[in-house]
Every structure is written in structure tokens, then in C-alpha cells.
């Protein structure tokens, strides 16, 4: 998959999930995204300067998950828009308890195609 460009979000989502197999990494993403929402609230109700902190907080937690836990590069480097959308889809799936089944589905299908990823 590294050699060819992903052409749709439907194709991107399983790739994205496969880059977030560790529950620690997913938790860091969830914390970062949630804190970014809090910072956005601070920006709306108190000071617009807080807007500068929102991406730092959100991506900071996520990148720790990628570089130190998953040992991979964030998908946002190559697919920024789809990655942003997928971040919020994952956030919603974690919030509603559906992310575990997504991870299982992607992990099972990657084993079928012969490229198992670390947990």
C-alpha cells in the first residue's frame, strides 16, 4: 500500500485503523482530540488566542502515539484531510464503544492478505 496512492475515504479508513492498532495510541488520540475541543471552547468563550493551542494539543498527543507507541508516521503527513476526518470518526467510535470491532475487522483482513501489523 505504500507504493500506490489511496483514492477514496472508504479505502483510507482500513489503512487508518491499521495505523492505530494499539489501544494506547487510540487513547492518546482520543485524549488529544477531546482536549482540542476543550481548547476550542476556551477560544470561543474566553480568548481567540487559544485557537493556536488546539492543533498543538490535538496533534501532540496523536503524534506521541504514532512515534513512540505505534512506531509509524501519522497518516496526516500524506493524507491530511482524510486523516482529519478519520480522527473524528475514530473519536466517535471510541466514544460509542465501536472502535474495538473496527480494529478486529481490519486486523483480521490484514492477516488474510498477508501483512500482519503489531498490536
Closest listed residue to residue 26, CA positions, set 14, 36, 38, 18: 18
**CB atoms closer than 10 angstroms to residue 54:** 18
- Where exactly are the structural domains of the chain? 18-110
Contact 6, 85 (CB under 8 A): no
66-108 residue pLDDT tens: 999 999 999 999 999 999 999 999 999 999 999 999 999 998 9
97-107 residues labelled b (16+ CB within 10 A) or e (exposed): eebeebbeebe
Rounded-to-integer distance, Cα 74 and Cα 89, Å: 16
Residue 56 has pLDDT above 70, yes or no: yes
1-32 residue pLDDT tens: 456 899 999 999 999 999 999 999 999 999 99
Amino acid at each position: 500500500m505504500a507504493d500506490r496512492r489511496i483514492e477514496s475515504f472508504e479505502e483510507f479508513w482500513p489503512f487508518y485503523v491499521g495505523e492505530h492498532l494499539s489501544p494506547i495510541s487510540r487513547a492518546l488520540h482520543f485524549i488529544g482530540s477531546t482536549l482540542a475541543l476543550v481548547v476550542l471552547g476556551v477560544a470561543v468563550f474566553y480568548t481567540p488566542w487559544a485557537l493556536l493551542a488546539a492543533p498543538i494539543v490535538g496533534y501532540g498527543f496523536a503524534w506521541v502515539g504514532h512515534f513512540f507507541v505505534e512506531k509509524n508516521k501519522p497518516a496526516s503527513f500524506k493524507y491530511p484531510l482524510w486523516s482529519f476526518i478519520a480522527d473524528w470518526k475514530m473519536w466517535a467510535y471510541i466514544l460509542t464503544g465501536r472502535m474495538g470491532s473496527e480494529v478486529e475487522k481490519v486486523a483480521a483482513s490484514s492477516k488474510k492478505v498477508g501483512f500482519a501489523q503489531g498490536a
